[in-house]
Amino acid sequence: MSISENLKNIKSKIPNHVTLVAVSKTKPVSDLMEAYNAGQRIFGENKIQEMVEKYEAMPKDIEWHMIGHVQRNKVKYMANFVRLIHGVDNFKLLKEINKQAKKHDRIIDCLFQIKIASENSKFGMSAKDASEILQSNDFSELQNIRITGLMGMATFTNDINQVEKEFKLLKTVFENLKILKTKNCKLETISMGMSSDYKLAIDCGSNMIRVGSSIFGERNL
Ligand SMILES: *Cc1c(COP(=O)(O)O)cnc(C)c1O
């Protein structure tokens, strides 16, 4: 099936309250343009340099999401346009995002990446870390970022019971932290679910899914 057919197919299967991030990493601009012409406006990339190049080449009404691990020294390259950073997992990074956002007189929305997978290779902070940051004075002083939700990645496994357990854990963490409403924190988004498990993720409370290969085909890079 074509990219536009894939998109249409996925959109017909997800409820209205779920935001679809089209994960276009490694794919050429021509593929992204096919999705754009089919109406897609939210794209997710996992490398800053690649996202910057695509941002420069493409129409300016696109929302660019950084879904990968972010190195602090590269935040400056995307601070003028990035719409949502999914993978924030430490306070030093958040401070840098705040600093760079300020230079552009912007407020950048961020999600805290929570470690829900059992593998120790996955990035992310604990629920306790997230809670401590959100209640700290240092955090309250950051005026150019906003924490709008949580992101999680389940263990890479065929065991759907384990994946379900991890998704439910993220939903629970979300419900517990949601009560911490401050000027720069209002949790609304749960970013979880990819091509192989987005249906399960939605059943477990996700309202933002990050789908790549089911839209653009397998990646060979
Ligand atoms: C690549 C990637 C996805 C999309 O994966 P697919 O299995 O191709 O849908 C989602 N989230 C993150 C963080 C990714 O790096």
Domain of 178, CATH number, reads 3.20.20.10
Our count of domains for the chain comes to 1
98 lines ligand 1 (CB under 6 A): no
Q: Is residue 208 part of a domain?
A: yes
> Under a CB-based contact definition with an 8 Å cutoff, are residues 89 and 125 in contact?
yes
pLDDT classification of 219: cutoffs 50, 70, 90: very high
CA 18 to chain centre: 13
Confidence category of residue 221, pLDDT binned at 50, 70, 90: low
User: How far, in Å, is the centroid of ligand 1 from the Cα of 23?
Assistant: 6
Residue 217 CA to residue 168 CA, distance in Å, equals: 28
Q: Ligand 1 mean position to 194 CA, how many Å?
A: 6
208 CB under 6 A from ligand 1?
no
Check residue 1 and give its pLDDT.
Answer: 87
Flag whether 220 is in a domain. no
- Cβ of 26 closer than 6 Å to ligand 1, yes or no, is no
Q: Is 124 part of a structural domain of the chain? A: yes
Residue 121: pLDDT band (50, 70, 90) is low
Q: Is residue 46 a part of any domain in this protein? A: yes
Boundaries of domain holding 204: 3-215
Long-range pairs, 198-203, Cβ under 8 A, ≥24: 198/10, 198/14, 199/13, 200/160, 200/163, 200/164, 200/167, 201/167, 202/14, 202/15, 202/18
Query: pLDDT tens, 4-60?
Result: 999 999 999 999 999 999 999 999 999 999 999 999 999 999 999 999 999 999 999
pTM over 0.95? The answer is yes
Looking at residue 120, what is its pLDDT? 65
How many A from CA of 67 to the centre of ligand 1? 8
Within-domain flag for 108: yes
pLDDT in tens, 60-106: 999 999 999 999 999 999 999 999 999 999 999 999 999 999 999 99
Structural domain contains residue 205: yes
* In a domain? residue 196: yes
Relative to the CA of 86, which ligand 1 atom is closest? Answer: 13
Euclidean distance between CA atoms 47 and 179, whole angstroms: 33
**Measured in angstroms, how far is the CA atom of residue 211 from the centroid of ligand 1?**
6
**Bridge partner list, 85:** 66, 110
Q: Is the pLDDT of residue 122 over 70?
A: no
Asked whether residue 221 is domain-assigned, the answer is: no
